[in-house]
């Protein structure tokens, strides 16, 4: 007798696919609106992104098991939307690769300088060398094989979980309520004007939509189990993000985020600022390990997807020469960009939010709308009727408006 997959397994697939290095940017992006505001923004984003994922499920159930995002978009919305969807996915993957190289490079530089320096002589390998080492080592695993990425990612994620638990447990015990509520501020603090700027970064932290077709297959088209897996998995991510906000914004004063923001939200700069506030080197070390493993595992996941996308697009074969061509197109553009603009982590994550809005928010909502017209007698439909479709589209349009306003300097941004 075939054993039915557990609900826990599906929830873990969603939570694992959702939680990544994007969460490191959340406390920086929400520092303007601070803790209470950040919790409200995270809850709003969680609800809209979870709902859009369920809308994708609604459309997916009308197609054969294993049908890709592209197949569904092309049939329901046409070739134009499908091209836009493909470009959005590629843009998100490239911009996230750039973001992870910039941050991973900074942490590699910091680690190696600390490792090789002594009281007699200080070693400074530089940011460029740090980025090159980080990218070259991890790119080798992607070039070598998917199995190598799988094995190494398992090690990184296990280490990340241990480091996260050790560091956050300690940080939560050191939370200062005066810092958390920003009651020590010496001047009148404004929060509401900075609320909009935080949305696109938080949106990227709830990206799981690529896993929906996999779950339909995993649960043999059982819509109830897929729905529960999505809701439970994203809710686990939400709780972890809230604890992370509490741990960081409860220990690092709001004004201390300004120099971090001026360095483009560099994670190495954030950890250094936090290290100057907390009383134990152990927590600082665990946080560095957590951040490094989170960025490395996210880098592997994102670049493996980009690598396969490039190989399929250009029809490169799986030989050493073919994989080398694919690797060059996958890694060189974001690497060069990171060497030219080494402090752009939060900005890059925000721009990834702009493209992710199209394929993870607006397109799923439009798919649900088209689906209800084409298949009026469907058995599964997302809560809220057509009103919920427009609510999710409004969330997407708001994120696009925010990015465009920021691009033209029309948006108030804390610390800039």
CB 392 within 8 A of CB 54: no
Low-confidence residues of the chain: pLDDT under 50:
1
Q: Cα–Cα distances in Å, from 108 out to 9, 100, 275, 292?
A: 33, 12, 17, 8
Residue with tokens 């935080």: 198
Q: Which of 291, 188, 212 is nearest to 50 (CA)?
A: 212
Q: Cα–Cα distances in Å, from 261 out to 38, 103, 344, 348?
A: 16, 13, 10, 13
Each residue of 195-212: b (16+ CB within 10 Å) or e? Answer: bbbbbbbbbbbbbbbebb
What pLDDT was estimated at residue 3?
Answer: 64
d(CA 241, CA 204): 12
Domains and CATH numbers, the chain: 7-408 (1.20.1740.10)
pLDDT tens-digit series, residues 172-221: 988 999 999 888 766 657 888 888 888 988 998 898 887 888 888 888 88
What pLDDT was estimated at residue 96?
Answer: 85
d(CA 348, CA 366): 26
What pLDDT was estimated at residue 188?
Answer: 58
């Amino acid at each position: 007798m075939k054993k039915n997959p557990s609900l826990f397994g599906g929830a873990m697939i969603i939570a694992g696919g959702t939680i990544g290095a994007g969460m490191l940017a959340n406390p920086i992006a929400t520092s303007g609106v601070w803790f209470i505001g950040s919790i409200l923004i995270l809850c709003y984003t969680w609800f809209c992104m979870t709902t859009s994922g369920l809308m994708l499920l609604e459309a997916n159930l009308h197609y054969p098991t294993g049908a890709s995002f592209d197949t569904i978009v092309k049939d329901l919305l046409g070739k134009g939307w499908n091209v836009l969807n493909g470009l959005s996915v590629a843009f998100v993957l490239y911009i996230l690769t750039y973001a992870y190289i910039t941050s991973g490079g900074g942490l590699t530089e910091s680690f190696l300088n600390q490792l090789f320096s002594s009281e007699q002589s200080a070693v400074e390998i530089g940011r460029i060398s740090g980025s090159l080492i980080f990218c070259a080592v991890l790119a080798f695993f992607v070039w070598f094989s998917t199995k190598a990425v799988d094995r190494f990612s398992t090690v990184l994620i296990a280490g990340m979980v241990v480091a996260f638990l050790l560091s956050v447990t300690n940080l939560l015990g050191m939370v200062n309520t005066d810092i958390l509520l920003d009651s020590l501020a010496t001047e009148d603090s404004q929060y509401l004007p900075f609320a909009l700027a935080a949305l696109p970064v938080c949106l990227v932290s709830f990206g799981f939509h690529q896993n929906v077709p996999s779950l339909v297959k995993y649960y043999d088209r059982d819509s109830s189990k897929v729905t529960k897996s999505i809701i439970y998995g994203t809710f686990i991510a939400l709780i972890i993000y809230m604890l992370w906000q509490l741990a960081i914004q409860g220990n690092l004063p709001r004004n201390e985020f300004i120099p971090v923001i001026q360095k483009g939200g560099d994670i190495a700069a954030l950890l250094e600022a936090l290290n100057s506030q907390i009383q134990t080197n152990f927590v600082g070390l665990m946080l560095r390990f957590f951040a490094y493993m989170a960025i490395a595992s996210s880098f592997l996941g994102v670049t493996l997807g980009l690598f396969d996308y490039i190989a399929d697009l250009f029809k490169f074969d799986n030989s050493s020469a073919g994989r080398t061509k694919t690797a060059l197109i996958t890694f060189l553009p974001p690497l060069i960009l990171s060497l030219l603009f080494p402090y752009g982590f939060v900005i890059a994550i925000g721009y990834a939010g702009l493209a992710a809005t199209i394929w993870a928010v607006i397109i799923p909502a439009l798919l649900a709308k088209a689906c209800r017209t084409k298949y009026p007698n469907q058995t599964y439909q997302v809560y809220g009727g057509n009103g919920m479709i427009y609510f999710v589209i409004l969330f997407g349009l708001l994120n696009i408006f925010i990015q465009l306003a920021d691009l033209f300097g029309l948006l108030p941004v804390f610390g800039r």
